[in-house]
Structure formats: structure tokens, C-alpha cells
Amino acid sequence: MTTPTHLNHNLFVALRAAFPADLDATAIETETGLLYSWRDLDRATAMLANLLGSLEIPAGSRVAVHVEKSVEALLLYLATLRAGFVYLPLNTAYQQAELDYFIGNAEPAVVVCAGRNFPWISKLAFGKGVAHVFTLNEDRTGTLLDRAAHFPETHVPAVKSADDLAAILYTSGTTGRSKGAMLSHGNLLSNAQVLKDFWDWQPGDVLIHALPIFHVHGLFVASHGALLNGSKMLWLSKFDPRAVVERLPRATVFMGVPTLYVRLLQEPGLTREACAHMRLFISGSAPLLIETFRDWQERTGHTILERYGMSETAMLTSNPCRPADGERLGGTVGPALPGVGVRVVDDAFAPLPAGEIGHVQVRGPNVFSGYWRMPEKTAEEFTADGWFKTGDVGSFNAQGWLTIVGRSKDLIITGGYNVYPAEIEGYLNDLPGVAESAVVGVPHPDFGEAVIAVIVPKPGATPDADALVAALKSQIANYKVPKRAFIVAELPRNAMGKVQKNLLRDGHQGLFSDDGKGIPQAS
């Protein structure tokens, strides 16, 4: 006996129901000209779901995926939902020490990795009790697809409640190791449905998908948006500004992080004529400089829509899409989305009036239930009345538009990626000759912020700053590696002994400026 569709809250069921009537229409077109129809998506996800189901792994098992972006990787995500398991995307930049932690913490039943990484990832996974390791490459090869080819092309989606876990996204913490944010089928579907209406998705919309698919922006916001609207995606495995500009006349929607907009503005082909067919440009994952906002308006005639979200919550606020809902204000992330609560409070959690800066707290059907296997940390991050403490600091204007002014946690956002200093400091402090370190973010014209490290050597040691940076490159993702490191005798501290990172940031503000003023010398 099958469960009626309306009683099954599996996110895949809702996405599949939105496929267009013509299943032979193109759903995804790659940069190489490869075409995937909606029927291909249905059949391929069925075969992959059947493969996963054949492994006889328990309900709720995690499927950890560390592969390059490809359509097949997206199909694996959808198949994991379809089969009723939990998807665990891992940034392809993660190195061995990071994967060792994630696999140990999440205890996935299945790991999928690139073929070139199979020797070391499989050894790591099998050593931690993972039963199944498959390979998936960006050229549509690998053992995952080889095995799936033998399974049926039909599959009845697993029955899930709205509260059942759909995905775990690891987000770095300011202290200790990364935390796994648990997102349910209901969290993700509610957010996708709200955005479909609020961003006014139209019949015939076409999305340029140029984002990675290991985080919220590319995997959920972009992919769910197109799928839930039955919209075609023009798929780029990696961001290429020229390739994006070439596709603008055939598209209507583009989503990017601020760094992508900066790079697009460097393309001579980006003109009003090229953007004439476009309906919506969306920016998120990091603050958009007001200069970029204005340059884009002047160059293209379009006003970028800025929005705000987190791994733990998906999207929370958004500048208006429809003119009737108000204008898009540069430097703000708009009002709370329908059904989402956002408040700005003081240290005692008392709401603050418009114009006053305080802690941003949120609640709603999109907000996660907690961190994987961290009940105490989860309890810390929610207020007694159920609001999630984002760790962001901001203020509302008179009309209720939110502006994020910084982080109460030491987050660095570089090129749209989140970097938490405590994690980098932990690796640095383990290196030979290092007594202690402090990692901060400073302004960078391309990445928004750049990671730098200030290091105090052990007595008698003379570590080389460049050598320390080079040592980190084999341990952590490249975007986390400091772009510059400096050796100092001591770190600035306050009366309580706490490192005054504000002084370090201030002292290195001009490090990456065009004129080079204020660049300190490494000793």
C-alpha cells in the first residue's frame, strides 16, 4: 500500500510534483552542451535511490558526499532524499584532517568521493566503520553510476514526516570543531515555497547555476528554486565570468556571492544589452559592498536583490522582488520573509527599536532543530522562548529592513565562504615553533575579507611565516589558509588577558589595499 502524495512530506515528492507535464523538455543544460530532460532526472534519481535502498542500511543513515560539482552529484542529493536517507555535503576543498573529523562525527553509512581521492578517503572511511564507499567523477564515471546502472528506473519515494532529517550541513564554530546543522524536510520545503512566491518565480524562468553545491546557497536556494518552479538550469561546473555573460541572453535568474559580481563587472561583455532578458540578480552568503551594488545598477540597469540566511536556517530575510513590495536598498538584506520571525535584541534579549544595533535572533519553520550530537551546544544557541541566536549583529531601519553590521562571533567571510579563526588557530598552534596565534579577517578588494595570521613563536624558536602557511595547505581547505602571516613578540591583550583582535584588524586594514599604505613588514 502506497502513501498518498499529500501525506508524504519527503522533500523529493514536492520537487517531483513540480516537474513540468512535458518530461522530455530540457531540465539542465551543461557547459559542454549535454542535455538532461526532466524524465532523465526522474529515472536517474530512481536508479540511484534503488541502489542506496539495496545496501540495507538503517533508516536515517547519512550519505556523505565529497565530489566535484556535476549534474550527477545533484541527482545523488535528490536520490538520497528520495530513498529517505540524510544527505551530508562536504566542501571539495576539505583535506584529510577535516574529513577525518566529519566522518568520525557523522558516522555515515555511505561515502561518495572523487576517484582520484579514493585511496586515502576509502582508507579513512573503512577505518571508521563506513560500510560503503563509491566514486563519482565530474565526467560521469565512477563506481556509483556503474552500480546504479543495474537498478530499475522506477522508485516509490520513502515516506517522511516534515520533522524527519533531510540534510546535515557542517558549519564551523568559534571554538572547537565544526557543528552539524540538522535540517529537516519541512525546514527545506517551507523555505523553498516561500522563496518561490517572494522572488516571483515565473513560468519560463531559466536559472544560471554557477554556484558550488556543497552549501545552502547553491544546493538548496538555487537548485530547489529551479526545481520547484519546473525551470531549466544552465549549469556551470565552475564559475566562469565569461561563460555567465554568454548565457545571460538565454536566462532570467542568476544567483551569486559578492565576489562573483565583482568578477562579472570586470567582463567587457557585461552590458545592458546582454542583461536585457534577465529578470533577477540575487546576492548572498556575504555582505555586498555598496560600490558593487551601485556599479551593477549603472552597468546593467538591474538592481541586485540582497538576502540573508545561514546554514542553520536557510533564507531569513530578503529585499523585495516585486516593485509593489518596496525598493531594494543597498547595504540592507530586506525585511523578514513571510512566516519568519527576526528580532534585534540587547544583551538581556530585550527588543531594540529601529536604528539601534543589537543581536539578531530568528525563528520560523525554516530554522533547524539543532546541532548533530551536540545537545548542550544546541541549548546554548536557542533562547528560552525558542529564538535562534544567529551570532550576527545588526539593526532595523524605520521600515523594517535589516542591516547586518558584523558578527558577535569571530566569523571571517572570504569569497562567500565562512572561516572561523579558532579552527585555523588550532592548526597553527600545533605547528613546530608556534606558541600561540591569532587569526583575523581584513578587507580585500576581491574576496571581501582575507584571512591573515599573527603568530608568536616559542622561546628560542625562529619559525618562518611563509613556511607555516605552506604547512597549513596540506591540512585545511585553501580558502581557510591565511594569505599572509606575521611573526610578532606578543599579541595585544586587554586587562582580562583576552587577545584584542580589533587591534590586529585595525593594524592590518591596508594590507591588501591598492595603494599598499599601512602594509606591515613580517619579521
Strand partners, 358: 394
**Whether pLDDT at 513 is above 90:** no
Burial of 111-139, coded b for 16+ CB within 10 Å and e otherwise, reads: bbbbeebbeebbebbeebebebbbbbbbe
Residue 2, pLDDT score = 54
Looking at per-residue pLDDT, the higher value among 417 and 172 belongs to: 417
**Whether pLDDT at 515 is above 50:** no
Per-residue pLDDT of 131-188, as tens digits, reads 999 999 999 999 999 999 999 999 999 999 999 999 999 985 444 578 999 999 999 9
Provide the residue ranges of all domains of the chain, joining segments of one domain with +: 1-23+37-160, 412-507
Residue 520, pLDDT score = 39
**Whether pLDDT at 128 is above 50:** yes
Residue 289, pLDDT score = 77
* Closest of 338, 339, 378, 333 to residue 360, by C-alpha: 333
Tell me the backbone φ, ψ of residue 149, rounded to 5 degrees. -60, -20
Per DSSP (E only), the strands in 9-68 are 26-30, 35-37, 62-66
How big is the CA angle at 122 (ends 141 and 73), to the nearest 5 degrees? 35
**Whether pLDDT at 5 is above 60:** no
Task: Say if CB 58 and CB 31 are below 8 A apart.
Answer: no
Per-residue pLDDT of 339-396, as tens digits, reads 999 999 998 999 999 999 889 999 999 999 999 999 999 999 999 999 999 998 889 9
Q: What is the mean pLDDT of residues 402-427?
A: 81
Residue 172, pLDDT score = 59
Query: Which residues, at least 6 apart from 521, have a Cβ–Cβ distance to it below 8 Å?
Result: none
Grid cell for residue 67:
565530489
Residue 405, pLDDT score = 77
**Whether pLDDT at 305 is above 90:** yes
pTM: 0.83
* Closest of 53, 66, 78, 63 to residue 108, by C-alpha: 63
For residue 48, the tally of other CB atoms under 10 A from its CB is 25
Residue 409, pLDDT score = 62
Residue 521, pLDDT score = 35
Residue 4, pLDDT score = 59
How big is the CA angle at 488 (ends 486 and 493), to the nearest 5 degrees? 115
Measure the CA–CA gap between 111 and 135, rounded to whole angstroms. 8
Residue 523, pLDDT score = 32
**Whether pLDDT at 519 is above 70:** no
* pLDDT interval class at 522 (50, 70, 90): very low
Q: Domain 412-507: give its CATH code.
A: 3.30.300.30
First to last CA, the chain: 73
Q: Domain 1-23+37-160, CATH 3.40.50.12780 — does that match?
A: yes
Per-residue pLDDT of 65-108, as tens digits, reads 999 999 999 999 999 999 999 999 999 988 999 999 999 999 99
**Whether pLDDT at 495 is above 50:** no
**Whether pLDDT at 494 is above 70:** no
Per-residue pLDDT of 270-284, as tens digits, reads 999 999 999 999 999
**If you average pLDDT over every residue of the chain, what do you get?**
92
For residue 41, the tally of other CB atoms under 10 A from its CB is 21
Residue 393, pLDDT score = 84
Grid cell for residue 79:
536520490
Task: Say if CB 281 and CB 304 are below 8 A apart.
Answer: yes
Measure the CA–CA gap between 203 and 207, rounded to whole angstroms. 12
